Amino acid sequence: MANAASGMAVDDECKLKFLELKAKRNYRFIIFKIESQQVVVEKLGSPEETYEEFAASLPADECRYAVFDYDFITNENCQKSKIFFIAWSPDTSRVRSKMVYASSRDRFKRELDGIQVELQATDPSEMSFDIIKSRAL
């Protein structure tokens, strides 16, 4: 399960919860963290939760990975959804943490089949709702 490049394992629950978000739409978002050399689920957001609640769930000074399911209506009046992968790496987090998250990101992202848009954010302004909206179209 661990990868020689990053040494990071991915807990099976990460993939299972992501599949539930993608196929069954059970969650609005999932926040993942690296703990004891593996990526684990930290928080599941219910379908009723908003983007603001999602953003508030990310710690101000620790790195995280997150997936957000964004529903929107196109200019042609079609209901659509895009799954965002967000690499949250705040400037105030520890350098070692930033390095571990950065080196493990691509491998972890490959485990989650169905990501449509990727964002990297070092502060809340880099993942504002306006940016999410503009990247979805």
Between the alpha carbon of residue 16 and those of residues 20, 21, 24, 41, the distances in Å are: 6, 9, 11, 10
Tens of pLDDT along the chain (137 residues)?
444 445 689 999 999 999 999 999 999 999 999 999 999 999 999 999 999 999 999 999 999 999 999 999 988 999 999 999 999 999 999 999 999 999 999 999 999 999 999 999 999 999 999 999 999 98
Alpha-helical (H) ranges within the chain are 12-19, 51-57, 95-111, 129-136
Residue with the two structure tokens 């967000």: 86
* Alpha carbons 7 and 122: distance in angstroms, whole number: 24
Q: Domains in the chain and their CATH numbers?
A: 9-136 (3.40.20.10)
Over the stretch 99-132, which tens digit does the pLDDT of each residue have? Answer: 999 999 999 999 999 999 999 999 999 999 999 9
- Please tell me the pTM assigned to this model: 0.93
Instruction: Provide the pLDDT for residue 7.
Output: 63
CB 45 within 8 A of CB 20: no
